Amino acid sequence: MKKVKITVAVILAAITIFFVGCTAKKDKVPVIGISQYGEHASLDNCREGFLLGLKEAGLTEGEDYTIDYQNASFDNATATQIANNFSSKNVALMCAIATP
C-alpha cells in the first residue's frame, strides 16, 4: 500500500508539472491514457487511487483533462498495442497499471 501511495504521489507531481507548464490558450483538453493489464482488485485500486489523486489536485475531468482507459485483459500483445496506440495518439500522460 505504501508503494501505491508513493507511486500516486510521483504521478501527481508529474501531472502538476505538466499542467503548470501549460500556459497557452486551452484549445484542446489533454488526454491521460490509462492502460490496465487486467481486472484485479489490486489493479482496480491503483486506478481508483490515481483518479482520486487527480481530483484531490483540483483537476476536473472534461475541463482539465480527459481519460482514455484501456484494459488489456491480461494479454501481453494487447498491452503492447495499447501502449503503441497511446504513443501514436500523443497522449499527454500514460499511466500503466500492472503486476498485482
Q: Which cell numbers in the block locate residue 82?
A: 495499447
Q: Which CATH number fits domain 26-97: 3.20.20.80, 3.90.1150.10, 3.40.50.2300, 2.60.120.200?
A: 3.40.50.2300
CA–CA distance, 20 with 2 (Å, rounded to integer): 27
The domain limits of the chain are: 26-97
DSSP annotation of 95:
E
Please tell me the distance from the alpha carbon of residue 86 to that of residue 90, in angstroms, as a whole number: 6
pLDDT tens track of the chain, all 100 residues?
777 767 766 676 677 777 666 655 557 999 999 999 999 999 999 999 999 999 999 999 999 999 999 999 999 999 999 999 999 999 999 999 997 5
Q: Which pTM value belongs to this model?
A: 0.72
Rounded to whole angstroms, the Cα distance separating 3 from 83 reads 23
**Helix, strand, coil percent content, the chain, rounded in steps of 5:** 50, 20, 30
Residue with cell 500523443: 90
Name the β-bridge partners of 66.
Answer: 31
